[in-house]
Amino acid sequence: MTEPWLVVIDMQVVFGDPSSAWFTPGYPAIESTVAKLVEHFGERIVLTRFIAPEHPTGAWVAYYELWPFALVHHTDPLYDLMPAFAGTGHPVISRTTFGKWGDELSTIIGPDAAVVLAGVSTDCCVLSTALAAADAGVRVLVVRDACAGLSDVDHQRALDAIALYGPLIEITSADAVLSV
């Protein structure tokens, strides 16, 4: 197995700005930890963005009826990476799905790579990405203190669900990752 890649999930204005309807309350507490991981991983980093589809289909139609503010073009500042993660030169994958695992991410990290996941929200995009990557046979580490959910309870519930996928997925800490 090659060295792991850090996948920084959706550290964006839409989730990090307190004025956003999708603000993740734990975002401020994890931002510096995620930034330390970015510094630690050097070039082996992929950033992701959740974006709205141009024309929602299927179940997404009802979803965006609940959240019409988010149905804006992918270049809208709402979907920008937060300043701590913008302009880093690392690859950025933008997807209209909660899960960020797919051909684009698989191609970047290469065969037999492991991924370390950090970002928001644990109970949505991190969970969806972790499960899909593990299902594809990728070794996944989720950094519990570098992820945040919509609440502490939701964060823990998501970690509990993710833990069911052991040994394909391991839940770890930032200190453990940074010590390697």
**Model-level pTM greater than 0.95?**
yes
Alpha-carbon distance of 120 to 84, in angstroms, equals: 14
Q: What is the mean pLDDT of residues 115-144?
A: 97
Mean pLDDT for the stretch of residues 127-144: 97
pLDDT-derived band of residue 98, with 50, 70 and 90 as boundaries?
Answer: very high
Average pLDDT, rounded, for the chain: 97
119 and 73 Cβ atoms separated by less than 8 Å: no
Residue 49 has pLDDT above 70, yes or no: yes
Question: What are the two backbone dihedrals, phi and then psi, of residue 12, each rounded to the nearest 5 degrees?
Answer: -120, 165
**pLDDT band (50, 70, 90) for residue 112:** confident
Other CB atoms within a 10 A radius of the CB of residue 43 amount to: 7
Give the pLDDT band of residue 1 (cuts 50, 70, 90): low
> What CATH number has the domain bearing residue 49?
3.40.50.850
Question: Average pLDDT for residues 161-171, to the nearest whole number?
Answer: 97
CA distances 45 to 41, 60, 114, 165, Å, are 7, 29, 12, 24
Mean pLDDT over 73-100 rounds to: 97
Is 60 exceeded by the pLDDT of residue 94? Answer: yes
State the Cα–Cα distance between residues 142 and 34, nearest whole angstrom: 12
Is the model's pLDDT at 92 over the cut of 80? yes
Average pLDDT over residues 159-170: 97
Helix/strand/coil percentages in the chain, nearest 5: 40, 20, 40
> In this predicted structure, what is the pLDDT of residue 113?
86
Number of domains in the chain: 1
In the predicted model, what is the mean pLDDT of residues 132-159? 97
Q: What does the angle CA 102 – CA 103 – CA 107 come to, to the nearest 5 degrees? A: 120
Spatial contact of 8 and 38, defined as CB atoms under 8 Å apart? yes
Amino acid sitting at position 40 = H
- Containing domain of residue 162, as a range? 5-178
3-state SS track over 92-120: EEEECCCCCCCHHHHHHHCCCCEEEEEEE
Alpha carbons 142 and 122: distance in angstroms, whole number: 9
**For range 26-36, the mean pLDDT:** 98
